A and B are shown apart, each in its own frame.
Chain A
């Protein structure tokens, strides 16, 4: 009998055993272990109920044909819609309430990332050899929101919104192209620098912007000493400051400065607003002649400047500048050091400086740099960066374990430490905090250039308003830069209140007086409206516009009913007083005659400030206009509203509390 005949039984048996092996290998799939665990938990939680627990073992799958996705996450994540599993360990934890985002329609991976087709933990969560798009960390998850909800999300996706805002405010867009998004020029123009700033200051600024102004948006290009000197030399080409020497009185200057509430926008020794730069060392930065020009007409020097034209007289400006020159000096500055720095700059190479300015992309944020074309974008195109292929991202010399070689990790690290990966990288360092870097990473990840089917899109959020007042009012708004702090019809800042319905709200005499000398309405706020030297025609124009345009019919239509309310009736006023103090405790938040809480506006002068129609309208629904209003929404009856309005508008001498 041949050899092969002899070993035939052994081989046949071996084959059979291997067949068993095949079956075993396939049958004992990891997901079954999770399902068994879940069933045990389910049995535990259902003890006592009469119906036997139904649980089918097997794969669970959500298939969305339109999105082209197959998600099998629920095979292990079994407790997603069972509230009893809120405190169960993963993978069984209940999913947070998502209402409209039911995964029946959307699956899981559209928002969370990962490999939906997989049924093992490592493959599903990723990254694996053949699937790099791993699960998004919670931090980055909001990036998917804009796929369906568009780019105007705000409160709905706060991290994404913050990242989006920062991307434009910090000048990322200046260097990195992002299709369809307008380029923003974040920094001031750099023309005539020699007339503006002192050379040693510019050197120090380029070596470390945050040393001078901690909240600056300018990143640190990490220049060497020589490079900073060269760039300074390049920028400072030209004649020195011109104009008459400044001489005034520092005393009155100080008074005017304090009265003008500059700290609403500027910081002085770190305290103040965020809109303008730090002023406590400005004398070591700018020439007095320049300071004069800036205070007199900031718009002539920089058309996008946020600083209003105050309308000071020249004498006042002289005083202010004299005061600043004397007081706002950099006391830490060593004279010899400053001289040495100035010398460095004086001997710096202008050609090298220009090269550096071009290489570092100063034009991304600054305009009017002599001899440098304002051409685009130096950094990579961001339009589809969210879905860039991992093999195109260079981790450089950093040894990154495989599990962490993902696109979000690269982006986050790049933003946090731009020159981390290897020598010779150009991107400057913003010293972002972890949350800031996370927000910007989230935004970058959202730039996918992808579209989902129309049936899935649901644009949310408000489009930016293109409100641009024209005519006389428009010029006033432009001069005083109202929209830096206030919002009108969706456009503007949120430092101060929304003025869109101001015409329906305030009384004429009061607002005109206020514009000339703004006083305190809300005790708690730090920012105060600066007193501009508003001219009478301007004041009239402002009021006319407000009263005709910034009104709402909801309030105007109340004029009839309000006329019928006997708001002067003493009995009604007393009823109102009772309601104010006893039933509703309004004094917990509001002040009258310096007594009461500080949360809401002071109501002492309301009789002169607000129109009765407005008070009635507001009491009906405090959140109708100001969505963020803290005032509780009491379901006040009409009589109560009448009484409260009467009381609030009444003269204060009769208040007994």
Chain B
């Protein structure tokens, strides 16, 4: 029993990573009604930028802030330059675009910073949290930041005019234009925000998984799974999904015999898919009523 509790707690701790990534994913989904497969790579690139700034002597929090601003701008620019021309193209073509972006960013990062693993500092330190052996102060910090982000996003969408405009533009773009909203810029803004959130996720994750161009691969998949599990329309669902996925992953690794690291992923995904078969819109998503 104690093992179970410990593994659950440890799962929640690692789940913070996925929760953070899932938030960025849901953020972009709120803005453009589909998912960006290159988001992990964008987060990785942002994290490398932060690392580079610190290598050049910029103190941690300044590097953090600067990276956020650059990531935000980067997200907006990428959307306006690369994806605005594809706005009228079919969805699958846009997906191909995301894949292309993924390949480009991954390759360029590898060229600039090569594939050797680098250390990334944490502002929270890595001592045991409140004396517990299971959660380090860094992991507690991750959970804290993720929750703070969640609250900030909730307030933004619920109580600001621009948050309302973004929600409207994502839900019904044509109706949004008919109330004077420039839907193109709402999408760009969504990308910028998702990029910034991704940067935060990357900066928090890097101390744990170590910095290298392929660091976000597994995280992105689990992040997607978490976002989908939570119901793609709900930031709270994304965070809950993230924690749940972390717990699933841990329990699968502990309790199912013969499962090495490689099989953890498909089994965790299979569990998630099972949940989806039972509840197709995810834990906290709402069923969309479609009129024919």
Instruction: Report if A and B associate in a common complex.
Output: no
